[in-house]
Amino acid sequence: MKISLALLILLLAAAWTGSQGMSFRRSGGRCCPKEKLCHKEIPGPKIQGYQCTPSNCPVRAVLVKLRRGSVCVDPEETWFQEYLRKQKKPNCTPT
């Protein structure tokens, strides 16, 4: 009886861990909430890089890396599109 109870608990723990595994895995990037999108133009020289948010995020955005942190930007912003054209860098495409 004790062995079957221990096996049952072990089996339930394994099933729970398996179902929770996705939430413990780190995705390739982070999502940006719509209300946190920056709409101000950022001068090109201040931009050190950018990364598109993962395709599973509810809001399509770009994480723009600055010297002191990063900000979320709508990739359709005119100034950001112009920045990409000047840098001759490809636009973000969902993965």
Question: What predicted TM-score, i.e. pTM, was given to this entire model?
Answer: 0.61
Q: What is the pLDDT of residues 8-36, one digit of tens each?
A: 565 555 554 443 343 333 445 689 998 88
Q: What is the pLDDT of residues 66-85, one digit of tens each?
A: 999 999 999 999 999 999 99
Question: 41: which 2 tokens?
Answer: 């133009």
Say if CB 62 and CB 20 are below 8 A apart: no
Topology, domain 35-94: OB fold (Dihydrolipoamide Acetyltransferase, E2P) (2.40.50)
Q: What is the pLDDT of residues 31-65, one digit of tens each?
A: 999 888 998 999 999 999 999 999 899 999 999 99
